[in-house]
Amino acid sequence: VFRGNSGIAGCLGATHSHRPEALYAHIPGLTVMLPATPADAKGMLKSAIRSDDPVIFIEHENLLAEKGEVPEDPEFLIPIGKADVKRPGQDVTILTYSRSLLTSLRAADQLAKDGIEAEVIDLRTVRPLDLETILASVVKTHRAVIVEEDWPYCGLGAGIADRIYRAAFDELDAPIGRVAARDTPIPYNRNLEALVLPSVERVVAEVNQVLYR
């Protein structure tokens, strides 16, 4: 298990602001896991250690101080390759992972005020991908938005969108939406950095786009 920090942690500039998950997920034979909650981090890490395969376990630096309920059961495990529906909904599917889960959940709260119920799925493991859970949601909502902090070009979102199109094209009522970091080196300035990263406002706007609102 290779466990390390990653993510755009704030005012570290282009040198120290990177998302390598797409690079690792590109390699056959590697398992790539990205927890977003304390409980998931525990259960996923224990499963990673018990796996016979090489695992890349990526923790976002800005999530290290997050607090939450963690099961005391020493045998608490989260299966590798199993996504989790963090918020049920029927109008649109939001697929996300790592810190972008928090952004997506806040966006879902905002959308609910306008009567839009978004289903938020935390992928947790991006290789292997839980396509079964993803497709079950897309078949229900007929719309999908992928939210990630990675860059859009050759990012995980592009690969995930391709898998959905190939498996469930006829189920989609709109093109798949994507919200990612803007395709530019990460600025050092805090205000400029915020413009590059996914935000609640950008997620809400993208959901409205796929809903043709």
Which residue from 124, 5, 127, 6 is spatially nearest to 55, judged by alpha carbons?
127
**Full 3-state SS string of 10-73:** CCCCCCCCECCHHHHHCCCCCEEECCCCHHHHHHHHHHHHHCCCCEEEEEEHHHCCCCCCCCCC
For residue 10, what pLDDT band results from cuts at 50, 70 and 90? confident
pLDDT in tens, 61-98: 889 989 999 999 999 999 999 999 999 999 999 999 99
For residue 13, what pLDDT band results from cuts at 50, 70 and 90? confident
Can you tell me the distance from the alpha carbon of 2 to that of 122, in angstroms, rounded to the nearest whole number? 21
Per-residue pLDDT at 169 exceeds 90: yes
Q: What is the DSSP string of 107-126?
A: HHHHHHTTT--EEEEE--EE
Per-residue pLDDT at 11 exceeds 90: no
Average pLDDT over every residue of 6-23: 85
State the Cα angle at 46 between 45 and 49, rounded to 5°.
85
Please state the domain extents for the chain. Answer: 2-63, 84-210
pLDDT at site 106 = 98
The mean of the pLDDT values for the chain is 96
pLDDT at site 167 = 98
pTM > 0.85? yes
Structure tokens at 68: 């939450």
Mention the CATH class of domain 84-210: alpha beta
129 CB neighbour count, 10 Å cutoff: 19
pLDDT in tens, 34-48: 999 999 999 999 999
Which residue from 59, 60, 58 is spatially nearest to 30, judged by alpha carbons?
58
